[in-house]
């Protein structure tokens, strides 16, 4: 598995059937600078992590390349919540087909408001040879 960022999409490269250890993601707000950083829209390391302490639930979904219904991934916060770290998990059946699986992460806050995190995610799944 490898992760790279291009434009407004976080790309994650997998092989068909990959699963196992949780994928650690840091959710960042690209409109605010991280502590001690100068905001650079092209560099996520300069973006402030979301404070997840007021988040009730996190929903991460992917859309299979065959057009079938979106699939919900496991998504849980990791303490300390102010660091914006989330574990993403899935079963081996989720990425059963080669192709591109666009996805998104949405946060539901304690007050009921919902925010979709950008950049979006794109799982690129290849068939092992």
Share of the chain above pLDDT 90, in %: 61
Sketch the domain layout of the chain as residue ranges: 2-126
pLDDT confidence bin for 25, thresholds 50/70/90:
confident
**Nearest 5°: phi and psi at 46?**
-90, -5
Confidence of residue 42 (pLDDT cuts 50, 70, 90): confident
Residue 94 has pLDDT above 90, yes or no: yes
Confidence bin at 115 (pLDDT 50/70/90): very high
Question: What is the separation, in whole angstroms, between the first and last Cα of the chain?
Answer: 15
The CATH class, in words, for 2-126 is mainly beta
């Amino acid at each position: 598995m490898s992760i790279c960022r291009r434009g407004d999409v976080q790309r994650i490269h997998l092989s068909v059937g990959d699963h196992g250890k949780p994928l650690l993601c840091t959710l960042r707000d690209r409109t605010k600078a991280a502590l001690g950083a100068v905001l650079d829209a092209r560099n996520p390391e300069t973006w402030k992590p979301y404070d997840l302490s007021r988040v009730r639930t996190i929903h991460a979904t992917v859309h299979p390349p065959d057009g079938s219904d979106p699939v919900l991934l496991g998504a849980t916060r990791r303490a300390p919540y102010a660091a914006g770290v989330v574990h993403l998990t899935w079963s081996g059946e989720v990425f059963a087909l080669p192709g591109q699986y666009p996805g998104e992460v949405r946060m539901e806050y304690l007050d009921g408001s919902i925010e979709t995190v950008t950049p979006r995610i794109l799982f690129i799944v290849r068939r092992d040879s």
